Structures are given as structure tokens and as C-alpha cells.
Structure 1
Amino acid sequence: MGTTPTEVLAFPSIRAIVRDNGTAEVVVAGNSRVVPDGETLQDLRNNALTLVVGEAQTLQRPVRVQIEDPEGHGELIVHPDNKIESVRYEQRPVRRRAQAPETTPETLAPAVTETLPVAAVKPKAAPAQPAPVDATAAAVERQPWPPTPVEAEERGPVSPKAQRNAAAESPAAVAPEEPLTRRSLKETSFLVSAPVLEPATKGWRGSLTRLGFRMDPSPEELSEREDIRTVSQHWPGPRTIAVVNRKGGANKTPTVVMLSAILARYSGAATVAWDNNESQGTLGWRTEKGAHNRSVLDLIDSSTELLSPSTNAAEIAKFVHHQTADKFDVLRSDENEEGDHEVTAEEVDIAHQVLTRYYRLVVMDSGNTARAANWRRMIDHTDQLVVPVTAIEDRAEAARLTLQTLESRGGHDAELARNAVVIVSESTDAKRSMTGDALKRAKAEAQRIADGFEPFVRAVVRIPYDPALVNGPIRHEALQPATQRAWLAAAAAVAKGF
């Protein structure tokens, strides 16, 4: 089956140009690459397509290429597996040779619409003896780049008698040229629709770019850019993420902090992390504290004022704790030392109504009791479920049971479970003392757990061990580069569910 052109990214901009002076070039994102010489026009075309296939293999995806030669122009889709699809090809008007005593019939083949391997395309040798042009055979012949009148001339001279016979069999081939019609201005535009591919900024390619040699980004950098683009999107209406696992120590709170930080940083959307523990949670311990001690209970008590149309948006700052570096706010759970209040389902409704008025993104931490009223009401408000787990078997089993509980309830709960994102973090237990085989076993266990969840949820992302996530306040900039990249991938997987 062919590829829908709209499914193929328009960048990098690729052009394959074949000239009538026997030269050709492939231009990728403004960088010109010389095409090896060929004996015929078709040789140059094939050599140009070979370079484009190499670019598709580098990017590991199909690419679009604008083709241009002395006889026409069009667009192809080139796949990494050497397959070519022709989207369109427009032939230029054929100019008759002044020295020809009679018009020579030259048959033009239609543009290719099927998928063909590049390897199958070989230039055809001219016949040893003069032969009449067979219009039917020329039309059946398929090549990834449409044949041109110049190639018909390369087949050899045609006798006057053969010309007259061919003209009798195919009168349309010698019909007078129709005058070109004026196009409407609505059919064209001077705007360039394809985005410009920015040069590499990372790795050795980035180093060469900074030295003045413009280099295309690597596949890894392109993947990172795509994740950044995903988490930077804005969506209509507020979204709520619930981070759940019925087992303590499963990395729920670090997951809430990191998702909130990345989504707030890249999207610029007003983001709040809400500790929805039924009694007292730990989100406030792992984040910055503001100049007050207010919690979710204070926000609920002031909900009438906060929901009033006359209330200024800045009033929410009285109840949340702003994270100065990572640009999101935290709504803490009740920190009453006696701990005698459990949040009810109705209170969850009130707090959620207030927060979705002031924030576009709500990331909810949770307690360990899936039967609690506030836990179940949180699920009712959830748009995307995230299940964190450390690479320890009891945490993984608790995550499985959490998903199983939601799936058994059916409806909205089951849909959340099926579209969940599972985030597997490497174990932090005695990590610093691990060496050699112990480290390999820890990584293998994380992979085993990730593989186990993959068939049952929408996405699974692995996070490497990082000491900055173990103790104290969590900040994005304190993480190692590999950990930052892994959390960006996790946030992109979550954002795809919006």
C-alpha cells in the first residue's frame, strides 16, 4: 500500500535537480550534495534518488522530495527501504526540433502511482538497429522518475515511414500543442509552507555547526525536538493527570513533580501539582514552600470567593506554593499534626472546580487507598492516568492491581487503564553501592517490568536512576542530562493523551 502524502513530514526540504548539461544535485535543507555523473539522463535521476534514499535511511522515515529536470517537475515520496512513490509529475511543453522534416511522435508515460524499489530502476540501452516507437510499450514501461522526450530521442533515429505508421496508430501524439491557459491567482502562493530545519545544536554535529559548518541534526536530536514540540502544545480546556499506585514508595511524588515541571516549562501553561492524599501527603516536603502555610482545606474554605467572577486571578497565590525554578504551583495537603480530617469526594469536586478555573493543567498526587472517596472522585475528573513504579516486584504488582481495579470497574475507569502511561524507574535501593553484575541485574529487572506492562497500556517509559530524585526538594536542573531526557520522553507520552 502507498503512503498518504500528508502523513510524510515536509521537513527537511529536499530537492533533486537534474540539468540538461549532464550535472545534477540534491539539496537537503539548503545543503547541496553533488550527484555522481551518469551516461544518460535516467542514470542521473537514479543516482540522485540513491542520495535521497540515504537521507530517508538516516532519518528512519519516508521523506518528500521535489524533483526537477529539463522535461518536467513533480514530487516523490522516498522510503528508507528503497521504495519510491510518485505523488505528481508535470511535463513541460515539448519543443519540436527545427531540423526535423516531420514531427516525430514521442510518447509520454503517465506519472507512477504505485510503490517501486529503486534497485529495480536501470537505464535501458538504445536498440542496435533503428526501430519504430511503440506507443503502447512506452506507456506500460514504469520508472520511479517519469520518462521524458529526451529519452525517446536516445532510442535512435526513426525512419519517415515508421514515423507515418506511428502517427497513424497514435494521432494524439502528433496533435498540435494546445495553448497554455492562464491560471487563477487563487491557485498559487509565495509563502513557503515547509518549516525550515534548524541546524544541529548537540553532539559533534552541533560542534561543527558552531564552527561555521551547518550540519543537519542527528536522529536523536530530531526525536528530542519532536518530544519538545509535543509537550509544548496547547489544548482546548483544562486537563487533569492522576498519578496513582496503591503501594507507597512507588515514586508517585517525584513523578508528579517532574511531569509538572516539564509541562510547565515547555508549554507555558498554568500548571498546578495537587497533593490529593486523603490525610497528609509528602508533595509539600519535596517542593519549595511559599510565604504561607495554607493547604487544600484553606482553598476549599475560600472556594466561594475564588469562584466569584469579580475575584482577580492573582488571588490563587494565597493558597499555592510557587516553584521559582520550574514554574509550576503546588497545592499542599492538610498538614494538621492531629491529622483528623480526611478529604471527601465533595471536597475534591470543589477544589477541582477552583483549580480548573485558574490552571490549564492539574497534576494530582494520590494516596495509597484506591477505595477512599477522594481517590475515586479524583479518577472521575482524570483525563490521563499515569502509573509510576520502581523496579521492585511488589511495587510492580501493586501497579498491576491498580490498573486491574480500574479496568474491572468498566466505563471511564477502564478506558483510563487501557490508555495509561506506565513510568518505570530503576531501583534506588543501595544503588550507590551497586557495581558490575548488580547494576546489570537492576537494569534487567527494570526492563523486565517495562516489557510486562507494555501489552496492556498505551505507553511505557523507563527512567534511569538519579540521586537528585532520592532526597530533598526536586528540581529539574539538578538532574543528570540522561534523566532529563527520559522525563521529557515521559511527559511527551503523557501529553499525547490530551
Structure 2
Amino acid sequence: MPDPKRVRFGELGRWDLSMTELNFPGARRSDMYVETDERPEPAGVATKAFEEPADPFVEREEVRAAAPVQAPKKNADDEDTEPIEPAKSGLNGFLNRLFRGLFRFAPSAKELDARELKASQGRFEDLIRQSTWTRAVGVAVANKKGTAGKTPLSILLGGVLAAIRGGSVAILETSDDKGQLAYRAEGDPQLGMGELVANVSNVRTQSQLRGYTVTQTSFASVIGSTPQWRPPLTRENVLDVASIVDEHFTIRVMDTGNQYSSGPFGAVVEVSDVLVIPTMLAQDAVSEALELLEFLEHQGRDAARLARTAIVVMMSDGRPEFKPSRLKKQFMDKGIAEDHIYAVPYDTHVAERGALTLSKLAPATRQALTAIAAGVVAQTNQNAFAKDRNR
């Protein structure tokens, strides 16, 4: 199949990733959910894809020049190689059906890529669905920069996890002041984070807790804020809400604020197992993300582990964009593993800045998010085990 690290750029500086070119990190195997400190060897990168021009911005000429990597041909003499099924689509597939198996025309490169994509997506979904823990786990979505994509990624990542696992995923607004989580989610909450904080001591059952949530078509449960003003959250508020949510949900995705030194953010770090850093392809967003990593490293212990194992998601909103390869290098220089850096293609539905629904995403976007979710789960398996062992 094509090199998974190869990137093509679409028109107007947008990402245009086919799923055969996505970065599929440690979730390449469906058995990666085994609790172990070992990580798979990252796949090699096609160096030509990341050659730097003098201008750090994507140019239209570069868009035309980018070409997909061809899938490696299988060696027919290799005794371990499984026979390739005859073509089922395209002209060759038509001929196979026409001659009813008399001839066995081989599949095209496009059909082989589609088969590999389907197989890899199946492995990702198996990993996400089959991973289990002896407690609830937390995923922090953070970047100090506003408009870096924290809220949409929280909803989409939590939605993919819930859709594959059949629910039991809560997406929480944990910003100091009221955020946009409820606005970007489906539905209109009658009760939300402010009301839950005020009544958390009286919430004991799942039915009571769900009264403060809005269920998405993905089966994720969002706890955002109602249109009314709410008091700023405190560290204790976040810890209390996380505690009651963990009694009734398996995965907790937390959409954070922009102030690292605040009590709520400190609480999120304390109850998180994996850090996901969204960033637009802009230097200011990347610089703020790098500052977050440095901040967490100085906290030591669990916070430092979050920084060392962070997963970076580069997103596109259609605006002029910086060279992703140069931004990627900055994260790698900071210690982020190359196979922990992902890309999500431009998607009109996300760029509309309205309520997000998984079914309205482009197929490539959904596939990219599935790969990211698998990477998050694989890293959660490792970090949760290490965190519990140290305690």
C-alpha cells in the first residue's frame, strides 16, 4: 500500500489526504490494546513528501507537483504471501463477472488500496471496540491558542469512540468560563455544566446524570453549557464532575480552556490518561501547543507523561496555511514521536462552524478520525496501566 506518512496537498492550501496516505500510528494492529510499554516501530517516511522550499507556505505549484506513492507490489514467489483475490470492481471486475471465473483478472492499484483501507479501518475499529480498562479513562483535548480546533475535535473524537463502542463516552466542557461545546454539539441542552456543578452532590444515578447531557447521533453524551451564564468552574468543580461521570461512563473526553495555570486545567491534567493537541496549520497555534508541552514537562510525573506521549492532530479550516512538514518538525524537536502526529483533511461541514454530526463528514475525514481514535486508545492502554502501576 502507499506509504502511510505520505502527504498530498489539495487546492488553496488545504489538506487532501487519501486514507492510504494517512499517518496510522501505534494502532496498526488490532491487538495493540494489550497493556504494554512497547510501541510498534513507526513506518518509514517518504522524504520527498517533506522537502522544504524557501517559502514556508503552500503554493499552488506544490499542489500540482505532489504525487501519490504507488503501492508496493507483492512478490508472487513469497510463500507467506496470500493469493490476491481477483478484481471485483472496475473493468477487470466486470470481465471477471462476464467470464464467470474462466479468467482471473487482477485488481487495479486503486482496488488494492481500497481493500487495504477497508482492512486497516477494520483493525482500528477492533482496537477501539475491544479495549477495556478496570476504571474510566480520561482524554484531555488542549491547546492554549483559541480557535485551534479543541471543541470540534473533542466532539468528533468522542463521537467516533462512542459510535464504535456503542456509547459510554461523555464529552465535557471543562473551560473556566462558558465555552462553545454545546453550540457545536447537536441539540439544545435544558441543563448543563453549570447546573450539574450546582447539584452534583445530589446526582447518584445514571438517569439523574443524563438529565444534564445531550445525546448525540453518535451516542456520545455531551455536557456543555446552556445559553445562560454560568459561574466560572473551579478545580473542585472539575474533579467532582469527573468523579460522577466516571461512575457511569467508560471514556471521558474533556474540552479544555486556554489558561494552563487555572484550577480547572490542573484538575483536567490530574484525571487524564492521554493528551490530544489539536492545531491549525499556523505558527501561532503550534507555538502555543509547544508551550503547553513545556509547561507539562515542568510539572513532572503524570503531567510529564502526558506531554511525552501526546498526540498531535493537525487540522485545516481553509485559511492560508503554513508548511505542515515544518510545523511537524517543531513537534518532533520537542520530543513528540513522528507516529503521534496526524492530519485531518479540510471538511466543509466542520468549517461551517455549526453543530457537528458524524454522518455529515466527508468519508476521508471520518476515516482519519477513526485512525486518530485508534491511536488515542492504543496510547490510553499504555498510559492508564503506567499511571495505575505508579500509584
Match of 2:115 among 208, 218, 224: 218
Q: Deviations over 1:321-380 (max 9, x none)?
A: 111x2111110136434x5x2111111111011111111111000111111110111110
Aligned to 1:265: 163
Does the C-alpha gap of structure 1 residues 383 and 293 become closer, same or farther in structure 2, counting only changes over 3 Å?
same
Match of 2:330 among 452, 468, 471: 452
Aligned to 1:156: none
Q: Deviations over 1:270-290 (max 9, x none)?
A: 111101111110011111224
Quick check: 2:142–2:255 contact (8 Å CA) kept in 1? Answer: yes
Q: Return the alpha-carbon distance in structure 2 between the equivalents of residues 200 and 241 of structure 1.
A: 43
Match of 2:360 among 445, 460, 478: 478
Quick check: 1:295–1:335 contact (8 Å CA) kept in 2? Answer: no
Residue 221 of structure 2 is aligned to residue 329 of structure 1: yes
Q: Return the alpha-carbon distance in structure 2 between the equivalents of residues 256 and 282 of structure 1.
A: 11
Aligned to 1:148: none
Q: Return the alpha-carbon distance in structure 2 between the equivalents of residues 457 and 201 of structure 1.
A: 41
Aligned to 2:14: none
Deviation at 1:468, TM superposition (A): 0.7
Residue 199 of structure 2 is aligned to residue 294 of structure 1: no
SS state of the match for residue 265, structure 2?
A: helix
Aligned length: 293
Does the C-alpha gap of structure 1 residues 203 and 257 become closer, same or farther in structure 2, counting only changes over 3 Å?
farther
Aligned-pair identity in percent equals 23
Q: Return the alpha-carbon distance in structure 1 between the equivalents of residues 125 and 359 of structure 2.
A: 16
Q: Return the alpha-carbon distance in structure 2 between the equivalents of residues 356 and 206 of structure 1.
A: 53
Residue 79 of structure 2 is aligned to residue 52 of structure 1: yes
Quick check: 1:200–1:221 contact (8 Å CA) kept in 2? Answer: no
For structure 2, which runs of at least 5 residues remain unmatched after alignment? 1-28, 32-74, 381-391
Question: Which structure exhibits the higher relative contact order, with contacts defined as CA atoms closer than 8 Å and separated by 6 or more residues?
Answer: 2
Quick check: 1:387–1:399 contact (8 Å CA) kept in 2? Answer: yes
SS state of the match for residue 52, structure 1?
A: coil
Residue 211 of structure 2 is aligned to residue 318 of structure 1: yes
Q: Deviations over 1:244-302 (max 9, x none)?
A: 00000100011101111110011124111101111110011111224x52111221233
Does the C-alpha gap of structure 1 residues 478 and 384 become closer, same or farther in structure 2, counting only changes over 3 Å?
same
* Backbone CA RMSD of aligned residues: 3.2
Quick check: 1:279–1:333 contact (8 Å CA) kept in 2? Answer: no
TM-score by length of 1: 0.54
Deviation at 1:467, TM superposition (A): 1.2
Aligned to 1:187: none
Deviation at 1:206, TM superposition (A): 12
Aligned to 2:383: none
SS state of the match for residue 295, structure 2?
A: helix
> What is the correspondence of 1:392-411 to structure 2 with a 5 Å cutoff?
392-411=282-301
Residue 228 of structure 2 is aligned to residue 347 of structure 1: no
Residue 131 of structure 2 is aligned to residue 234 of structure 1: yes
Aligned to 1:107: none
Q: Deviations over 1:191-224 (max 9, x none)?
A: xxxxxxxx8999759977x968798973333222
Deviation at 1:240, TM superposition (A): 0.6
Q: Return the alpha-carbon distance in structure 1 between the equivalents of residues 153 and 87 of structure 2.
A: 28
Does the C-alpha gap of structure 1 residues 486 and 200 become closer, same or farther in structure 2, counting only changes over 3 Å?
farther
Aligned to 1:136: none
SS state of the match for residue 382, structure 1?
A: coil
SS state of the match for residue 358, structure 1?
A: coil
Quick check: 1:242–1:384 contact (8 Å CA) kept in 2? Answer: yes
TM-score by length of 2: 0.67
Could you tell me which amino acid in structure 1 is paired with residue 379 of structure 2? G
